[in-house]
Amino acid sequence: MRHPAGEHPLDPSGYDAELQRHDRLLRRACGVRPHDHVLDIGCGIGQTTRAAARTARAGGALGIDISASAVARAREIARTEGLGNVTFENADAQVHRFPQERFDLAISRFGTMFFDDPVAAFANIGRTLRPAGRLVMMVWQPRERNEWNVAIRRSLAGPDGPAAAASAGPDPFSLADPPAVKEILGAAGFADIAFTDVHEPVYYGPDVAAALDWVHGFTCTGEALKRLDPAAAARVVGRLREMLSAHLSDDGVWFDSRAWLITARRP
Domains of the chain (ranges, CATH numbers)? 15-265 (3.40.50.150)
Type of residue at 59: G
Q: Do the beta carbons of residue 60 and residue 86 sit within 8 Å?
A: yes
Name the residue among 110, 77, 79 with its Cα closest to residue 4.
Answer: 110
Separation between Cα atoms, residue 90 and residue 264, nearest integer Å:
25
In this model, does residue 9 exceed pLDDT 50?
Answer: no
In this model, does residue 51 exceed pLDDT 60?
Answer: yes
Q: Do the beta carbons of residue 170 and residue 142 sit within 8 Å?
A: no
Q: Do the beta carbons of residue 153 and residue 211 sit within 8 Å?
A: no
Instruction: Please give the pLDDT value at position 1.
Output: 41
Q: Where are the alpha helices (DSSP H) in 83-207?
A: 118-127, 147-157, 178-187
What are the pLDDT digits (tens) for 158-171? 776 555 555 556 78
Phi, psi (5° rounding) for residue 21?
Answer: -70, -35
What are the pLDDT digits (tens) for 133-150? 999 999 999 999 999 999
Q: Give pTM, 2 decimals.
A: 0.91
